[in-house]
Amino acid sequence: MIRLNEDTPLDVLNEIKQGDLVTDTFSKTGLVESVEITDDGLYRTYEFTLVTGRVIKVRK
């Protein structure tokens, strides 16, 4: 299980793919259904949509 938060290294965030088991350490845990990465020039935002419909966002 991969723990996702602001301290998660970029190389770990970039390697997460569909089917990986992730958690936000609070209430969201599940398999990744999709990953969306957006870059606004200042921050890179990772949105991990879980099969349960919940979304974990990490901004680095």
Tens-place pLDDT, residues 1-57: 999 999 999 999 999 999 999 999 888 999 999 999 999 999 999 999 999 999 999
pLDDT, residue 28, reads 93
- pLDDT for 26 equals 87
Terminal C-alpha separation, the chain: 20
Whole-number Å distance between alpha carbons of 60 and 58: 7
What pTM value is reported for the model?
Answer: 0.91
21-35 residue pLDDT tens: 999 988 899 999 999
Q: Which domain holds residue 13?
A: 2-59
Q: In total, how many domains does the chain have? A: 1
> CA-CA distance, 20 to 10, in Å (whole number)?
16
